[in-house]
Structure 1
């Protein structure tokens, strides 16, 4: 059987696990690079070296973009108000998600588990906390992770975080295409959420008042020991620690049901 045919038969959850391993590997390479030559050897000429080395121009640009006071979106919770809550906060099952809107593994997780998560939230059995990070901006350069996270925080201010969050993942560009670095694209996607694309939302997206909050989220994530995105934790236990028993929608339902009983 050819490699192409073999790949075509993999399940969605296997592709998600593989993508997440790729994200972890990429982050590890970034931490351990000691010379620009090493970057060139691994990635070739197709990707700009300055965009991938720690302390590169892209990183400096994002530091300038995140200058200013730390302003959390309305309703954010947790230490330093870095998490956006969704669902019944009295639910016994608590899903903690660290995500990057440019991260393809995050897109696979959201598009694969969205209906299940919303179903459980709708029943009052699950609450979720979303922390938005900029790992792909740091690895590949660009601003799409940062600008999309700020826009999502603006949507939270407008009471429409979850709907906009979902639309960003439904419209997610390829990882190497920094489409979300263009604010016009973020506003275009906002048109898919009724009542969101108002003058106040547009100003929030353009001005980036939550950029420093997003950077704080990334800094905290970098120090947390988590290895990549998506990081998904249910009641304190990572759901991706055991690749031999990958997460499925049915398994998630079972884990939430067990948490309800506990």
Structure 2
């Protein structure tokens, strides 16, 4: 009888201990849930505060950024084109270049005179776009500084002349001497009437830096393979068009074919700023 009584007592104690353990487990879970909920609440609040701060900072930045200064006479989408030649030319040669790009200089040396001849005779207009890929690849700021200076020359109606001076005096690709504004101003002395206080201030102040950066972004978004990129009426012609390699003779032939049955421009001048 005593043995049975002892068993019942042990069983009761075991049940009581199991119940207590269940109660302790519930309490641990309750406390864990409370802490977790508090942490989630803090994180959520931090996220909201961070989002508000980020948006506030973005609004401040956007409001302070203001419109991008555009060179006088710039044309095309977002004013990113510096045009040489008449508006009513029957064909358009679009050229993307970087003033530090050695292949761009080779392209200019090979085709500068031919392109000028075609533009002056009203057969084409040339839409120049500026990029800064060498700065991105090799570091430095010569591409940006030279492009800004070229845009400053556009204000004075001397983009084409200064563009040619920059390529004729292009440093080695790894030499970032175009990053020196004084060098860019010195080269402006080769263009009659360009080295003025207005031009110097434009170069020193980086007036068109944001415009150049916007142009470089457009280059990247255009999916182009590199500089120079040359398109005749939207069709790539560098380094070849179809199966024909680019040459002076081929360039003239391609323009003549594109202009067949169309009259040359009535005015051979570059648009005035």
TM-score by length of 2: 0.70
Deviation of the 1:164 alpha carbon: 0.2
1:196 aligns with 2:194: yes
From 83, 89, 96, give the equivalent of 2:94.
Answer: 96
Residues of 1 paired with 2:226 and 2:190: CA distance?
29
Residues of 1 paired with 2:99 and 2:70: CA distance?
18
SS at match of 2:128: strand
Is the alpha carbon distance of 1:211 and 1:68 closer, same or farther for their aligned partners in structure 2, counting shifts above 3 Å?
Answer: farther
What are the equivalent positions in structure 2 for 1:75-154 lying under 5 Å apart? 75-154=73-152
Q: Which runs of 5+ in 1 are unaligned?
A: 1-66
Structure showing greater radius of gyration is 2
Residues of 2 paired with 1:125 and 1:163: CA distance?
20
Deviations 1:110-156 (A, max 9, x none): 11100000111111111000000100000000010000000000000
Residues of 1 paired with 2:247 and 2:66: CA distance?
41
Q: Which residue of 1 aligns with 2:258?
A: 259
Deviation of the 1:242 alpha carbon: 3.9
Deviation of the 1:89 alpha carbon: 1.6
Runs of 4+ in 1 over 6 A off after TM superposition: none
Q: Which residue of 2 aligns with 1:33?
A: none
From 204, 215, 218, give the equivalent of 2:216.
Answer: 218
Q: Which residue of 1 aligns with 2:246?
A: 247
SS at match of 1:240: coil
Residues of 2 paired with 1:183 and 1:113: CA distance?
28
- Is 2:239–2:246's contact at 8 Å kept on the other side of the alignment? no
Q: Which runs of 5+ in 2 are unaligned?
A: 1-64, 262-273
Q: Which residue of 2 aligns with 1:238?
A: 236
Residues of 2 paired with 1:140 and 1:182: CA distance?
16
Aligned length: 196
- Is 1:68–1:212's contact at 8 Å kept on the other side of the alignment? no
- Is 1:77–1:83's contact at 8 Å kept on the other side of the alignment? yes
SS at match of 1:154: helix
RMSD over aligned Cα, in angstroms? 1.3
